[in-house]
Amino acid sequence: MGDQAMKRIMLYNNGGFGNRGCEAIVRSTAALFGGQARLAATSGQPDIDRAARVPGLSRIVPDQISPYSVRRLINSVGFRLGMPREQEVARKHGTVIDLGLRSDICLSVGGDTYCYKPQEHMRVINGRLRHAGKPLALWGCSVEPDSLRGELLEDLRAYDLLIARESITAQAMADCGLPVMRWCDPAFTMERKDLPLPPAWRAGKTVGVNVSPLVLGLARDGERTLDAFVRLVRHILRTSDCAVALIAHVFWAHDNDMDALRRIKAQFADEPRVFLLGEGLSAPQIKGYIARLSALVTARTHASIAAYSTGVPTLVIGYSVKARGIARDLFGEEAGHLIAVQELAGAQELLDAYDALAARADAERAFLKERLPAYMDGREEAVAAVMALAG
């Protein structure tokens, strides 16, 4: 297919690669559509994303106009003079709307966007693009079933196609009459990149631990939950000869995993078996390390996806429908594979769940190897469904 004949797809609602989950989705999506379309992306961190040099992306633009631009100044003055709120939001996100108007398909890659609450900027952006006749798709999404009402449901009705990454969301959307199909999170397909292992790494005997400020904020008691992770690390050291790799997956200023992980490492300052992985790692590089773990305990869903997709036994300390749905679809049940952080009673529950994971590790590794091909099947249908939107 010649370059001129290729359809143009805008990947929008990308928060930026400071969140390696966002990076994983954009990278894997660009690879999936490679050769079939010309892709450009919007980003909340365009400089970081451009530096990543993702193959298949022709362009990356900011998801908001510059605060120093004439457009932003006009917007600010207009708002003070009584400009309608919707018009203010549309001007602020004019970069996204402009790129969308020049695209054949607008593909929202913010799968988590609707996990929590209605998103005003998405409603306005989608409304403008829909009014211009642009086909819209929401890619790899999860939504709490109880939230499918009111403004959020109306926004979802703007999409021509919804690709749900797990069955809980897919069923809830279908029950609301939304145009939904189900496929796994595209990050399952992202290639890994293996870097040399750090000196503290113990081959076949390194457990990964990920904790996030987000999950601590959603816990009944954040300090008690962090202490549970500290006690988990101590338990691993005491009951095995494993090393513990503290692995960050999000590095946003307002939500940086390193903040929590450094607090854990401080409790083991003189213990060489506990170490932090570097901050400068890309999503494929982190996946490369996760793939070589003996097990992973994680709060970040996309860290769990890196583990599941490479056959690593995993315990998720989850907080939303996405973690529940993925565990249910992979294993047939959530029990034993996921603890809802809102229900985490204390350290002993975490220690018992880890011990159960360690006991079944070989069986889970074998199960994942057999299960993954069928679980990940359907990528051609998902890509074709999106491409069909352009007519």
Helix (H) or strand (E) holding 227: helix 222-239
Percent over 90 (pLDDT), the chain = 87
Classify domain 206-359 by CATH number.
Answer: 3.40.50.2000
pLDDT over 90 (residue 76):
no
Which of 74 and 301 is assigned the larger pLDDT?
301
Beta carbons of 12 and 107 less than 8 angstroms apart? yes
**Joined tokens for residue 317:** 């300390």
Is pLDDT of 349 > 70?
Answer: yes
The mean pLDDT of the chain is: 94
What is the band of 66 on the pLDDT scale with cuts at 50, 70, 90? confident
Task: Label residue 33 by pLDDT band (50, 70, 90).
Answer: very high
Asked if domains 3-190+376-388 and 206-359 share a fold, the reply is yes
Residue 72 has pLDDT above 60, yes or no: no
For range 313-325, the mean pLDDT: 95
pLDDT tens for residues 263-316? 999 999 999 999 999 889 999 999 999 999 999 999 999 999 999 999 999 999
Q: Average pLDDT, stretch 161-166?
A: 98
Using the predicted structure, report yes or no on whether residue 147 has a pLDDT greater than 60: yes
The CA distance from 226 to 234, in Å, is 13
Residue 82 has pLDDT above 70, yes or no: no
* Alpha helices (H) in 267-341, listed in sequence order: 283-290, 301-308, 321-331
Q: For 193, how many CA atoms within 13 A lie in the half-sphere containing its CB? A: 9
Instruction: Specify the 3-state DSSP secondary structure of 146.
Output: helix
Which are the contacts of 22, defined by CB distance < 8 A and separation ≥ 6? 14, 15, 16, 109, 110
Regarding pTM above 0.75, the answer is yes
Q: How confident is the model at residue 68 (pLDDT cuts 50, 70, 90)?
A: low
Question: What would be the CATH architecture of the domain defined by 3-190+376-388?
Answer: 3-Layer(aba) Sandwich (3.40)
Give per-residue pLDDT as tens, 207-245. 999 999 999 999 999 999 999 999 999 999 999 999 999
> Does the pLDDT of residue 2 top 70, yes or no?
no
In DSSP notation, 76-112 reads HHHHHTT--HHHHHHHHTHHHHHHHHT-SEEEE--TT
pLDDT of residue 1: 47
Q: Which sequence spans correspond to the domains of the chain? A: 3-190+376-388, 206-359
Between 100 and 82, the more confident residue is 100
pLDDT at res. 69: 59
